[in-house]
Amino acid sequence: MNVKKLDKRYTVEKTHSISSIKLIHTNKYMAYKVILLGNSGVGKTSIFTRLTTNKFNTYDNVATIGGQFVSLVIDDKKLNLWDTAGQERFRSLIPFYIRGAQIVMIVIEATVLSDTKKLTEEIEYWYNYANSQQLAIKHEYLLVINKCDMIEDFTIPHQYLIDNRFYNIIILSCYTGYNVPLLRISLKECVEKLEKMLEPQTFPDREEVSGSWLSFCSIL
């Protein structure tokens, strides 16, 4: 499969190593925090790399320790992507990175699709784990099934197709680049949905407020 070159609309900023807990404001964008969760070896770092460089690093097989993040702009939507460690011995660090996250990407390896019990265990473990953390008040979940190039049957259990906990379910391959553009679109749509939730309330004009206040004072 031919992988398209990185769209000019997707721009990558310098990777940072420090934690970013609160929303980051810039002159043009408000950054939305995205966290990748999943077992070790499911390809979280590969997704992280594909989204930011549109490349697959064949030698990137070293387990992530702690976390790392990079800023990504999709059209006018700015995202801070956080990659976290999947190994149990490093999971105690995840709460430091997940705090305030507005989009949670739960990453599952496609090879477990044939084992409904294992698939359910992984999804429910990470969903419940994330839900127990200090996420942003308004947040969205994406279920990402990676390494679809390793299987022939992409069938997703019906219970997850109708599961409204997830904004979208994306089956992709970081190795071939299959459906990575769909993941970008889903991330953008999640941000747009969150923006609508976070729209400021409409307040009356100053004169109307002043008039109401004067009327209240006159009653007293």
CATH number at residue 46: 3.40.50.300
DSSP state of 41: T
Question: Is 5 a member of any domain?
Answer: no
Question: Is 2 a member of any domain?
Answer: no
Question: Is 101 a member of any domain?
Answer: yes
Sign of CA dihedral 120, 126, 127, 128: positive
Check residue 67 and give its pLDDT.
64
- The CA distance from 29 to 26, in Å, is 5
Would you give the end-to-end CA distance of the chain in angstroms? 76
Question: Is 86 a member of any domain?
Answer: yes
Question: Is 199 a member of any domain?
Answer: yes
Question: Which residue pairs from 150-158 have beta carbons closer than 8 angstroms and sit at least 24 positions apart in sequence?
Answer: 150/110, 150/111, 151/110, 151/111, 151/113, 151/114, 153/113, 153/114, 154/110, 154/113, 155/113, 156/113, 157/116, 157/119, 157/120
- The CA distance from 92 to 113, in Å, is 28
DSSP state of 30: B
Structure tokens at 62: 């070293």
Count of structural domains within the chain = 1
Residue numbers of the domain that contains 123: 10-219
Question: Is 190 a member of any domain?
Answer: yes
Question: Is 175 a member of any domain?
Answer: yes
- The CA distance from 150 to 195, in Å, is 36
Mean pLDDT of 184-200: 90
Indicate if the pLDDT at residue 138 is higher than 60.
yes
Indicate if the pLDDT at residue 196 is higher than 70.
yes
Give the model confidence (pLDDT) of 68-122 as tens digits.
788 899 999 999 999 886 555 667 888 888 999 999 999 999 999 999 999 999 9
Most confident of 80-89, 146-155, 195-204: 146-155
Question: Is 3 a member of any domain?
Answer: no
Alpha-carbon distances of 40 from 44, 99, 196, 200, 202, rounded to whole Å: 8, 20, 34, 40, 46
Q: Which residue has the tokens 């904004």?
A: 167
Put simply, whether the predicted model's pTM sits higher than 0.85 gets the answer no
